[in-house]
């Protein structure tokens, strides 16, 4: 039976979570991939486009397209690094910062509701991290 297969279960659980997040984030002009990019950018020191790609484990072409879309919507901008004028970094705009904060609250709420049927959402996350070797 397909529903006994781990791959099947993981794939379909992810599809349901993605659908819920996509619906919840859409009014804010974002999807899950956009939010992941914003999270990578906000998480510390200014990163170059290639560093954002490496952090998210996506190729250079994909990150370029993602950043282009975020830049067109006013969420990010590319700037010269103040430390190294030969390097460009990606930063959140003020709109990007406020949108990220709102989107993160939404993401957390969607995840909380999604995991509500489980007896221990924290244990589930811990078990997934264990499987990932973290």
What pLDDT does residue 1 have? 60
At residue 77 the predicted structure's pLDDT band, cuts being 50, 70 and 90, is very high
pLDDT higher than threshold 80 for residue 44: no
- Give residue limits of the domains in the chain: 2-132
Q: What is the mean pLDDT of the chain?
A: 91
Look at phi and psi of residue 57 and say left if phi exceeds 0, alpha if psi is from -120 to 50, else beta: left
**CA atoms in the 13 A half-sphere facing the CB of 33:** 11
Average pLDDT over residues 35-52: 90
Give CA–CA dist 112/25, Å, rounded. Answer: 15
Q: What is the mean pLDDT of residues 76-88?
A: 85
Q: What is the CATH number of domain 2-132?
A: 1.10.10.10
Full-model pTM: 0.84
């Amino acid at each position: 039976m397909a529903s006994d297969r781990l791959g099947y279960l993981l794939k379909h659980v992810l599809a349901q979570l993605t659908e819920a997040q996509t619906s919840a984030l859409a009014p804010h002009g974002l999807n899950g991939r956009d939010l992941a990019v914003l999270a990578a950018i906000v998480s510390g020191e200014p990163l170059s486009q290639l560093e954002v790609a490496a952090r998210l484990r996506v190729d250079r072409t994909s990150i370029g397209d993602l950043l282009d879309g975020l830049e067109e919507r006013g969420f990010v901008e590319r700037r010269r690094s103040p430390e190294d004028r030969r390097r460009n970094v990606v930063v959140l705009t003020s709109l990007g910062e406020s949108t990220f904060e709102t989107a993160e609250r939404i993401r957390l709420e969607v995840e909380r509701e999604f995991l509500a049927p489980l007896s221990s959402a924290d244990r589930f996350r811990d078990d997934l991290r264990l499987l990932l070797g973290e």
